[in-house]
Structure 1
């Protein structure tokens, strides 16, 4: 987890401005596990910052002013009376800063020499080698930042993540149930059902929770995406799609081109759904103590193409360990509102 445990549920009131020319707007600020979220008083999410990419602009002065590393024009101001949030957020940012890799000049020169050496290598070997190297050296904080930026581009196509107040805690419990080290995000639109992003983010379409009465179905979709992310690095998938230039930019500047992220967002929203590989997924269902049968029938109501997940269901005899209480499941089903 990125955030310190004692500060994981903090909320405060602040003033948010998306750019220097915009009016400041009163928002509800929520400090999460790995993100800082700004929401309107009605519950709509206005901004979603990765904690690994947040900077305090004015030292110890109050009101405290924060902004994303990549966009100092977008600011969040916390007033002096929100001391608990200011103290908590500053401690979290200091903790993240202590954990950052500090490569120094030697690392810089070694990376430069490595890139130059690769450039002199075989042209067909270079792209794969750079991609593998990039995925090896990119730290978790940077992966989370890339995932958050990609999510921003995706939500321009799908609508902002669903986040009604009553469903926030059930969503956290649902996320912990299916992938304790990551998060689950539910969006209202798009031509997809489920996918995964760098930074251990699982993305679900609203119909996954709204169209099925059994919570094991939604848990199955989220579990499968988390398992796919472990089996095939989502950052490697992104770099493989974006090409050599994106890998070079990530290695030299620590960021990916916005154009590449925008194009990739469109791609993953429209790529054909993949049928599950039962041999790879059944151990994940067993470890999570979750039935695979409801998920299999949600994919194919006849069960013909997902027969292996039905016949070899590891929890057929005992049933699933509870995903959510009935009350929490009903609240989660209403997360996107009307």
Structure 2
């Protein structure tokens, strides 16, 4: 036990002291020595024990002053006066050791409170932002998603140039959109440039770079990129990525007011285009199913992936598998997505 260890070096220590049993009693010379977790006061003449004081309960009444004045407890009337520095130091040392091993009822409570606070901080830092963003994304209606997508598009076009609106290209683009998505909910936008051939935004907005239309003989390549972006959008909510980028403040404002903070998406378009160049391919099974459902061959899209600049090894491997899985590789080709006249008109969408 710590008590025995602490006492062992003082077992033979004795000193003279002056004891007073009550404030009105006569002062008596006593011999002070250590007992088993107690201070023993004995008569200096007869050496018979007068009293035992518990060391853990001992109180020094005049800390730092000499001679030292002790009492056996907070309500006690006895006092002991000591001027032996070795005895005083021994008493203080043993009391300190005993006090350090004394159970402290509040310590566990403090530890639990500190642990709870720490858990709350960790929860707020690492879990709450993600949970709040997910909850906000779930609460945003379709109309607001499209509005946020338009805000993101406005920032994106600072990098790509303004969206192409040449006629009759816009009418042809509307026909292609209706052909691929007769149920609605999708808007296809063509832009002049940018580092990525295609990307998508919240609200069903799909952005294509003009070369997907101008550099090919038919709409199959552009349609392939459109279906690939829809497949990516089905895998991960674009609004989640946007809100993570915008930050917790913008997310809270959207949740509480229904509005994005002015300037919250500044720079988002550029960041999105950088990441879109290296976006993972959509699940091939789901993508091939989309091509088959729309009557679209996979080979034109796959060959465009192979020819993409700069080349990406994974796209080459992806292209090989898509060509092998082309549902229209043999037999009759599927009907054209749009007429030749519409395709010619679409190729001029960025001319004005």
Q: Same fold (TM over 0.5)?
A: yes
Give unmatched runs, 5+ long, in structure 1. Answer: 1-118
Match of residue 122 from structure 1: 123
Q: Is the 8 A contact 1:286 1:314 kept in 2?
A: yes
Which residue number in structure 2 is paired with residue 134 of structure 1? 136
* Contact 1:179 1:226 (8 Å CA) reproduced: no
> Does the CA contact (< 8 Å) of 2:212 and 2:222 recur in 1?
yes
SS at match of 1:314: coil
Q: Is the 8 A contact 1:179 1:223 kept in 2?
A: no
Indicate the residue corresponding to 1:257 in structure 2: 261
* Partner SS, residue 168 of structure 2: helix
Q: CA deviation at 1:120?
A: 8.3
The answer to whether the aligner puts 1:336 opposite 2:350 as a matched pair is yes
Distance 2:164 2:174 in 1: 13
Gaps of 5+ in 2: 1-119, 308-314
Asked which structure has the greater CA Rg, the reply is: 2
* 2:204 is the counterpart of 1:200: yes
- Corresponding residue for 1:113? none
The residue aligned with 1:225 is 229
**Within 2, Cα distance between the matches of 1:193 and 1:319?**
26
Indicate yes or no: 2:305 matched with 1:299.
Answer: yes
* 1:161-200 Cα deviation digits (max 9, x unpaired): 1111221211100111223421100011212110001110
Structure 1 residues 320 and 243: alpha-carbon distance in aligned structure 2, compared to 1, 3 A threshold: farther
Give the Cα separation in 2 of the matches to 1:273 and 1:328. 32
CA distance in 2, matches of 1:223, 1:320: 16
Question: Is residue 283 of structure 1 aligned with residue 283 of structure 2?
Answer: no
Aligned residue in 2 for 1:238? 242
Q: How big is the shift at 1:293?
A: 1.2
Q: CA deviation at 1:210?
A: 0.5
> In structure 1, what is the Cα distance between the partners aligned to 2:318 and 2:269?
28
Give the structure 1 partner of residue 328 of structure 2: 315
Q: Report the TM-score, using the length of structure 1 for normalisation.
A: 0.61
CA distance in 2, matches of 1:146, 1:238: 9
Structure 1 counterpart SS, 2:206: strand
Within 1, Cα distance between the matches of 2:151 and 2:245?
16
Secondary structure of 2:189's aligned partner: strand
In the other structure, the counterpart of 2:278 is: 273
CA distance in 2 between partners of 1:177 and 1:263 (Å) = 33
Question: Aligned equivalents of 1:164 and 1:170: distance in 2?
Answer: 10
Q: 2:194 maps to what in 1?
A: 190
SS in 1 for 2:265: helix
User: Which string of whole-angstrom CA distances, capped at 9 and with x for unpartnered residues, describes residues 114-153 of structure 1?
Assistant: xxxxx88822211121111111110011001101111111
Corresponding position of 2:70: none
RMSD, matched Cα:
2.1
1:152/1:312 CA distance change after superposition, 3 Å? same
* Residue of structure 2 aligned with 1:154, choices 150, 153, 156: 156
String of CA shifts for 1:37-78, please: whole Å, max 9, x gaps: xxxxxxxxxxxxxxxxxxxxxxxxxxxxxxxxxxxxxxxxxx
TM-score by length of 2: 0.59
SS at 2:200 equivalent: strand
Superposition deviation, residue 280 in structure 1:
3.0
